Amino acid sequence: MDAQAQLLAPALLLPATAVFPALLGVVALVLGRRAVPLVPLLAVTVIGLAVAHLTAIVWQHSEVTVALGGWQAPLGIALRLDGLATAFLLMTGTVASGIAIYALVEYRHPAGGESRAAYGFWPLMMFLWAGLNTIFLSRDLFNLYVALEITSLSGIAMVGLNGEAAALVAQMRYLLFATLGSLFYLMGVAFLYAETGALDLAVIAGRLQVGPSASTAVVLTTLGLLLKTAIWPLHFWLPPAHARAPTPVSALLSGLVVKGSLYLLIRLWFELYAPVLDQVAWMVPGALGGVAVLWGSALALRQERLKLMLAYSTTAQLGYMLFAFPLAVAGPVEATQAWTGMVVLILAHGIAKAAMFLAAGAIVAVLGSDERVALAGATRLVPVPLFALALAGLSMMGLPPSGGFLGKWLMLRAAIGAGQWWLVAILVVGGLMAAAYLFRFLVPAFLPASEGKPDRPAATGLMGGAAIALALISILLGFVASPLNRLIAPAMPAGLGAG
Amino acid sequence: MFRAVDPPEPPFTFTDAALAAAIFAFLLAGTCAMLNLPAQPSPLVHDVAANLRASGLGNPVNAVLLNFRAYDTLLETGVIVVALVGSWMLATDASWTLAPGNFVTRHPVEPPLVVLIKALVPLVAISAFYLLFVGSEEPGGAFPAGTMLSAIGILLILARIAPPPARAGRSIRWTVAAGFMVFALSGSATLLVGREFLDFPPSSAKAVILIIELSLAPSVAMALLLLASGLPVEPGRDTPA
Amino acid sequence: MSPATAYAVTGLALFALALFGFLVRGHLVRRIVALNVMGSGVFLVFLAMAARGEGTTDPVPQALVITGIVVAVATTALALVLLVRLHREVGRLALEPSRQPD
């Protein structure tokens, strides 16, 4: 009975993780003001428990598959949980929880009425969460397209929530290019279906041969997903969208949404395309990532507004995650190290960047501005959010002990072991540049202003608390190297790292 | 609202030419790839045919949509809801509870239009209901039916027979939500009987799918109607057109 | 070239043409229409794949295209509402002021 209950649970938990947030979103749509705080708290608790249970399952069984509708793939759609999916589910659950707490403070309904932004935020956030969880679990290429669309559309819909002109322009740009990326991806899927007659990842992997249609599919899907992940040179749409959006939305977009398309890119290359790609092809994402790190960091250095700096920093940090691609064709040890490093970097960035955006939001709520000059000496007024910013910044710079350090260190070791010195150089230089663009904001903020009597610190309450909590988690990630390794390393698809 | 002047074409620059060349090259490559594709259709054709009886439907496309790949359709319903909420959010705080304004004009409605619409609406409604029920065996189903129903709604608003629905209303929210809710809950109910999510037992599949479609059609209809109706007229502005 | 392949190449050509229009033009309505035409191109490729061979047509791509059309309609609707709101806020129909053809 115990074994049966154990096996029954994934059949419930996997679809529940994907669908329950959406169901809550629809409930929030109907109930409006009465849905708060019930819906967000219910979502965080239930999905949190589900993901915790799923982690325990993966810990023991290393992977679980569920055939939706009772139909085996490729006729039906399958959901599969492995170490990689679990890591991303954990990241999403953690970040979404922190953002939900922040948003409960930011979006309040007036007494006896209903605020527009507060009404719309919760259904959209719930659908975004559902879409992301589907991306992590689904094994069907077309299902992944619909999941990408629901995630993107939810994010897009939230960008203009505050109604400012600049935000609306950024929203339109984001909508146009997100749709363009999805269409490229879908055209690639059309070629894959045409060639192999299936949409399931495992089935296609078994049937895909080297040839012109495979190459076309690779190029099309990769272009589409690189655009959606804002990798240089397709990154231009991200900084205005992430900077102009309301704070909790920026945290969702930079922390989570871009990781969705990145996850899909990783799945496609490492699981599907690996047998049909040659060594040179693997260098391309790495090279683009390298330029992204340098270009994005250089642009971040020039920013005078905190949220814009953070947005450009996202475009830079995402570049590091692509370094696992050229290292995937190095020796098995290096490939596994790079794989684990990549996932840890993604987790650390998602959590730390969300923390930094929430901290920025708390700062703006008190100071009224996120300009660098306005932040000078701000430690008197907003010590808690600034501390969160600094803590998360540690992870972003890759300083020990933090999740960012762990990820970077793994990636460095892999790069050194594989003799890819250009990656080593960019990792080091990028870390220095990150320190520079973060210190530019933090150091003046922490130095007390010379004139004026000291003000009493403003209470940022739960907003600052959410930021601190996420920042602390990004640091704590650096202390759980062994469990992370145990979870993530076996998830790397076999056949890579053949040297 | 938009000045009806056709803007002059921007000049064709060198970058445009380079871009055109690159896209053309890509088109050639893709065509080459297409010419080498297998001439046989996917083996899924046989899988669908073999399992058609068990799906409870006679129309293979709808069997794929509502049974084999029902999760796709569930997500697609979610996409419609997200787009609708997104469009609601694009109204201003002052006006977001007001009725949307796309089909409201300053001009009085012309009687011939009203007569025509009054004649059309029952015919379209019959077609819509027919499409909804015939979808189990022939092409049709919830989405075409819902689209036709939303067209009826637009016609009624144009003829000033019905007012445009104000989004704050409780019944509007329930109508929009019902499709996704019924679908997701039906899929979850199958878990209670020990089956997978969205795993409809062959004996009752047709009935369950019909219930899902019955709630999906009005949901889709209302969502499409509201999406087409656009933003509310801002207080203090002229009505458009 | 079989009929199915001809349709597939047409779909790809539509995709390419509309891609050019999307990237080169600044007018937002044209860009949204371009995305729609690109989508139609993709759908045409899928449907052409359904029509291969001599036997019954493949129902799976047809179902995929139905889903794709709904997603495209939802996206276009949101884009158009955003367009109207954007025009009310900034008075132009292009992303950057420099690209406004008016």
Yes or no, beta carbons of C35 and A176 under 8 Å apart: yes
Cα distance between residue A86 and residue A133, in whole Å: 10
* pLDDT tens digits along B23-67: 999 999 999 999 988 888 889 999 999 999 999 899 999 999 999
B113: which 2 tokens? 């239009």
HEC profile for A266-277? HHHHHHHHHHHC
Yes or no, beta carbons of C82 and A175 under 8 Å apart: yes
Cα distance between residue A491 and residue A494, in whole Å: 9
A304: which 2 tokens? 């005078």
Q: What is the DSSP letter of B237?
A: S
Give how many domains chain C has, as a whole number. 1
Cβ-based neighbours of A443, under 8 Å, separated by 6 or more: none
Yes or no, beta carbons of B7 and C8 under 8 Å apart: no
Yes or no, beta carbons of B60 and C66 under 8 Å apart: no
H/E stretch holding A473 reads: helix A461-476
Q: Which chains touch A (3 or more CB pairs under 8 A)?
A: B, C
Question: Residue C79's domain spans which residues?
Answer: 3-99
Three-state SS for A82?
strand
Does residue B60 contact residue B48 with C-beta atoms inside 8 Å?
A: yes
Among A149, A165, A191, whose Cβ lies nearest the Cβ of C71?
A149
Evaluated on CA atoms C67, C23, A267, A400, the torsion sign reads negative
Which of these ranges, A269-278, A352-361, B168-177, B228-237, has the smallest mean pLDDT? B228-237
Quick check: A117 contacting B, CB < 8 Å?
A: yes
At residue A66, φ and ψ (nearest 5 deg) are -130, 130
Q: Which chains touch C (3 or more CB pairs under 8 A)?
A: A, B
In 10 A of CB A326, how many CB atoms? 26
Q: How many angstroms away from the CA of C92 is the closest CA of chain A?
A: 10
Among C67, C78, C95, whose Cβ lies nearest the Cβ of A169?
C95
* pLDDT tens digits along A125-174: 999 999 999 999 999 999 999 999 999 999 999 999 999 999 999 999 99
Selected for mutation to probe chain B from A72, A153, A195, A218 (highest B CB count within 10 Å) is A153
Q: Are strands A63-67 and A78-82 parallel, antiparallel or unpaired?
A: antiparallel
- Give the CATH number, domain containing residue C11: 1.10.287.3510
B100, pLDDT greater than 80: yes
CA distances, A327 to each of A263, A270, A319, A340 (Å)? 17, 12, 14, 12
Strand-pairing partners, residue A340, are none
Predicted local confidence at residue A180, as pLDDT: 98
CA atoms within 13 A on the CB side of A309: 24
* Contacting residues of C for B20, CB less than 8 Å apart: 20
Yes or no, beta carbons of B1 and C84 under 8 Å apart: yes
Predicted local confidence at residue A494, as pLDDT: 80
Cα-Cα end-to-end distance for chain C: 45
Minimum Cα–Cα distance from B38: chain C residue: C52
Does residue A452 contact residue A368 with C-beta atoms inside 8 Å?
A: no
Yes or no, beta carbons of B41 and C77 under 8 Å apart: no
* Contacting residues of C for A138, CB less than 8 Å apart: none
**Alpha helix stretches (DSSP H) within chain B:** 14-35, 44-55, 60-63, 70-89, 111-134, 142-158, 170-192, 205-229
> Quick one: which of A261, A357, A244 has its CA closest to A310?
A357
Predicted local confidence at residue C3, as pLDDT: 87
Mean pLDDT of chain A: 93
A188: which 2 tokens? 């690639």
Predicted local confidence at residue B202, as pLDDT: 92
Cα distance between residue A362 and residue A466, in whole Å: 10
Amino acid at C71: V
Interface of B with C in 167-196 (CB under 8 A): none
Among A165, A168, A199, whose Cβ lies nearest the Cβ of C82?
A168
> Quick one: which of A205, A208, A128 has its CA closest to A161?
A128
Cα distance between residue A417 and residue A343, in whole Å: 19
At residue B41, φ and ψ (nearest 5 deg) are -70, 175
pLDDT category at B237 given cuts 50, 70, 90 is: low
Predicted local confidence at residue A1, as pLDDT: 41
Binned average pLDDT, 10 residues per bin, chain A of 499 residues = 57 94 96 92 96 93 90 93 96 97 92 90 98 97 98 97 94 97 98 95 93 94 97 95 95 96 97 92 96 96 96 96 94 92 97 97 91 87 92 94 95 95 96 96 83 65 93 95 91 73
At residue A140, φ and ψ (nearest 5 deg) are -110, 130
Yes or no, beta carbons of B76 and C67 under 8 Å apart: yes
Cα distance between residue A263 and residue B40, in whole Å: 32
Cβ-based neighbours of A236, under 8 Å, separated by 6 or more: none
* Contacting residues of B for C14, CB less than 8 Å apart: none
Predicted local confidence at residue C95, as pLDDT: 86
CA distances, A429 to each of A290, A293, A294, A356 (Å)? 11, 9, 8, 22
* pLDDT tens digits along C1-32: 788 899 999 999 999 999 999 999 889 999 99
Predicted local confidence at residue B241, as pLDDT: 42
Does residue A63 contact residue A80 with C-beta atoms inside 8 Å?
A: yes
CA atoms within 13 A on the CB side of A396: 36
Query: To the nearest 10°, the Cα dihedral for A301, A306, A312, A315?
Result: 130
Q: How many angstroms away from the CA of C42 is the closest CA of chain A?
A: 6
Cα distance between residue A477 and residue A344, in whole Å: 8
Cα distance between residue B20 and residue A143, in whole Å: 32
Does residue A438 contact residue A398 with C-beta atoms inside 8 Å?
A: no
Amino acid at B140: G
Quick check: A377 contacting B, CB < 8 Å?
A: no
HEC profile for A369-431? CCECCCCCCHHHCCHHHHHHHHHHHHHHHCCCCCHHHHHHHHHHHHHHHHCCHHHHHHHHHHH
Mean pLDDT of chain B: 89
Does residue A97 contact residue A50 with C-beta atoms inside 8 Å?
A: no
Distance of CA B186 to the CA centre of its chain: 21
Average pLDDT of C66-86? 96
> Quick one: which of B115, B214, B191, B193 has its CA closest to B159?
B115
Predicted local confidence at residue A499, as pLDDT: 45
Distance of CA C34 to the CA centre of its chain: 6
Does residue A225 contact residue A148 with C-beta atoms inside 8 Å?
A: no
Query: DSSP of C39-75, one letter per residue?
Result: HHHHHHHHHHHHT-SSSSPPHHHHHHHHHHHHHHHHH
Cβ-based neighbours of A235, under 8 Å, separated by 6 or more: A292, A295, A296, A315
Quick check: C83 contacting A, CB < 8 Å?
A: yes
Query: DSSP of C74-88, one letter per residue?
Result: HHHHHHHHHHHHHHH
Does residue B180 contact residue B142 with C-beta atoms inside 8 Å?
A: no
Average pLDDT of B218-229? 95
Does residue C24 contact residue B23 with C-beta atoms inside 8 Å?
A: no
Distance of CA A111 to the CA centre of its chain: 35
**Alpha helix stretches (DSSP H) within A62-197:** 83-106, 116-137, 141-159, 165-196
* Contacting residues of B for A212, CB less than 8 Å apart: 29, 32-33, 36
Cα distance between residue B160 and residue B148, in whole Å: 19
Residue A212: cis peptide before it, omega within 30 degrees of 0? no
Tokens 């969460």 belong to which residue?
A129
Residue A483: cis peptide before it, omega within 30 degrees of 0? no
Cα distance between residue B41 and residue C57, in whole Å: 8
Cα distance between residue B135 and residue A242, in whole Å: 43
Minimum Cα–Cα distance from A33: chain B residue: B168
Residue B41: cis peptide before it, omega within 30 degrees of 0? no
Minimum Cα–Cα distance from C60: chain A residue: A75
Does residue A327 contact residue A494 with C-beta atoms inside 8 Å?
A: no
Cα distance between residue B70 and residue A71, in whole Å: 10
Does residue A261 contact residue A150 with C-beta atoms inside 8 Å?
A: no
Cβ-based neighbours of A493, under 8 Å, separated by 6 or more: A270, A271, A274
Cα distance between residue B183 and residue B191, in whole Å: 13
C98, pLDDT greater than 80: no
Three-state SS for B59?
coil
